[in-house]
Amino acid sequence: MPDRDEDTWGGIDGPFRRDRKGFVASALSCAARALETESDRWFLWLPVLFATGILTYFALYNEPGPRIAATLVLGAAACG
């Protein structure tokens, strides 16, 4: 409605307007924000990550082959 000065408030759906990103982009954005807020506590997450890796290794039916191990090492190096 022109008499309500909608342009000042950002258009018709001003406060309810959402960013039109896809699901993956919004999930990655949310994960990045969560990691950023936890940046001062990353050191405290190391034991949790080590325990998760150990439990995952012992939960495997067979020991992983050298290709999978190399892929995981390269992936960890890329993240670092």
| Rounded Cα gap, residues 34 and 28, in angstroms | 10
Tokens of 57: 């290794």
Q: Which domain holds residue 25?
A: 2-79
Which residue's entry shows tokens 């994960």? Answer: 31
Domain count, the chain: 1
Full pLDDT tens readout for the chain, 80 residues: 455 555 555 555 555 555 567 888 888 888 888 888 888 888 888 899 899 989 998 998 888 888 988 998 898 888 76
